């Protein structure tokens, strides 16, 4: 069956994996960012408006994380096994954090007596979920020890300095997306408050990106060789700078659509730069896309099942939800109504 398809299924599933990761980062990134920004705003009216801005979409956004796991498990099972072995604790913490966020999201309106507890859970869940994602990415970039297709490192390798830096950087990045989303979706005092945070967060993200890029180029000679052999990769830092400039200009001109769009463009550029630096490795310097792919029959089965049915349905659902709930969330609108 696989021979009948006019393209490479390993490449197709690697593209689906990349697309799903990117969509998850952009969509769940802003609602995790709103949770992070919760810590910086104690105004109850603002907090209700912040919740209302993400209420229709936050749980659907996490569907893309399930797609990522499904594609890894079905199309690249050896990478799935290595990833879970290397990041068992971060994955467990991520699940706990997401559950805590979901519970806190609903309970803060039903249990007013302990609202402070649920707000704390929402904030900590958002920060923890974001940090472990960034730390796992940083650990993958730094390189994880693999022998014969098995992880042979320490379960706390993801807490070394570079992964921790990446975790903190992603907290800033998601907060930036969250602030851009609040500017896009809200009005009044909360919108003005989000505008004040955008330049500060952008400067923090720019500093992190510069540090991470320098650390990667200094510490990984193979990445340096890749960049020297493919000079087009140098376009990505320039595109990132253009996105940052666009965000600052959007803040100055008070164009509500521009900050979130430019923050998303910054993430897209960083993702493309990361992919270009390590392609075709799925586990850097251990497994390529072709080496990690499942047998042809499994990839073909996934294509006709998930690729042609499940993915289009989820994509259509996501687009439909965002279209239906487009527009601003008024200051008097509350999620608990």
Q: Which pLDDT score is estimated for 334? A: 57
Per-residue pLDDT tens over the stretch 21-51? 999 999 999 999 999 999 999 888 899 999 9
Q: Which pLDDT score is estimated for 1? A: 41
Higher pLDDT, 322 or 4: 322
For the chain, give every domain's residue range.
15-205+288-324
Cα–Cα distance, 171 to 276 (Å, whole number) = 23
Provide the 10 A C-beta neighbour count for residue 274. 18
Q: Which pLDDT score is estimated for 222? A: 74
Confidence check: pLDDT of 109 > 80: yes
State in Å, rounded, how far the first CA of the chain is from the last one: 52
Q: Which pLDDT score is estimated for 192? A: 94
Provide the 10 A C-beta neighbour count for residue 49. 26
Confidence check: pLDDT of 224 > 80: no
Per-residue pLDDT tens over the stretch 279-292? 888 888 888 999 88
**DSSP run (H or E) holding 283:** strand 281-283
| Confidence tier at 128 by pLDDT (50, 70, 90) | very high
Q: Which pLDDT score is estimated for 333? A: 58
Share of the chain above pLDDT 70, in %: 95
Mean pLDDT in the chain? 88
Cα–Cα distance, 46 to 26 (Å, whole number) = 23
Q: Which pLDDT score is estimated for 331? A: 67
Q: Can the peptide bond before residue 306 be classed as cis, meaning omega within 30 degrees of 0?
A: no
1-15, 203-217, 276-290: least confident range: 1-15
Per-residue pLDDT tens over the stretch 148-181? 878 888 888 888 888 899 999 999 999 999 999 9
Per-residue pLDDT tens over the stretch 257-281? 999 999 999 999 989 988 888 888 8
Q: For residue 277, give Cα distances in angstroms to 214, 237, 304.
A: 13, 12, 31
Q: Which pLDDT score is estimated for 7? A: 66
């Amino acid at each position: 069956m696989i021979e009948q398809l006019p393209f490479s299924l390993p490449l197709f599933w690697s593209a689906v994996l990349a697309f799903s990761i990117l969509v998850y980062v952009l969509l769940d990134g802003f609602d995790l960012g709103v949770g992070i920004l919760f810590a910086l705003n104690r105004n109850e009216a603002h907090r209700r408006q912040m919740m209302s801005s993400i209420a229709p979409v936050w749980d659907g956004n996490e569907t893309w994380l399930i797609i990522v796991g499904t594609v890894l498990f079905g199309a690249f099972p050896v990478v799935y096994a290595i990833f879970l072995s290397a990041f068992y604790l971060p994955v467990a913490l991520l699940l706990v954090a997401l559950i805590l966020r979901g519970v806190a999201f609903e309970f803060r309106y039903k249990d007013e007596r302990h609202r402070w507890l649920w707000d704390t859970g929402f904030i900590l869940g958002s920060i923890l979920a974001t940090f472990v994602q960034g730390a796992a990415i940083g650990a993958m970039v730094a390189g994880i020890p693999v022998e014969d297709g098995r992880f042979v490192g320490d379960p706390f390798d993801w807490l070394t300095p570079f992964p921790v830096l990446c975790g903190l950087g992603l907290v800033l990045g998601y907060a930036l997306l969250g602030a851009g989303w609040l500017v896009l979706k809200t009005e009044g005092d909360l919108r003005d408050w989000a505008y004040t945070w955008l330049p500060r967060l952008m400067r923090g993200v720019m500093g992190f990106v510069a540090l991470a890029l320098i650390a990667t180029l200094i510490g990984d000679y193979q990445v340096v060789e890749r960049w020297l052999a493919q000079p087009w990769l140098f376009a990505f830092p320039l595109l990132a700078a253009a996105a940052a400039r666009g965000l600052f200009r959007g803040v100055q001109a008070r164009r509500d659509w521009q900050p979130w769009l430019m923050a998303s463009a910054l993430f897209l550029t960083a993702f493309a730069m990361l992919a270009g630096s390590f392609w075709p490795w799925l586990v850097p310097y251990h497994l390529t896309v072709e080496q990690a792919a499942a047998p042809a029959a499994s990839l073909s089965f996934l294509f006709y099942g998930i690729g042609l049915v499940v993915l289009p349905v989820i994509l259509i659902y996501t687009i439909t939800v965002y279209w239906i709930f487009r527009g601003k969330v008024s200051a008097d609108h509350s999620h608990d109504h």
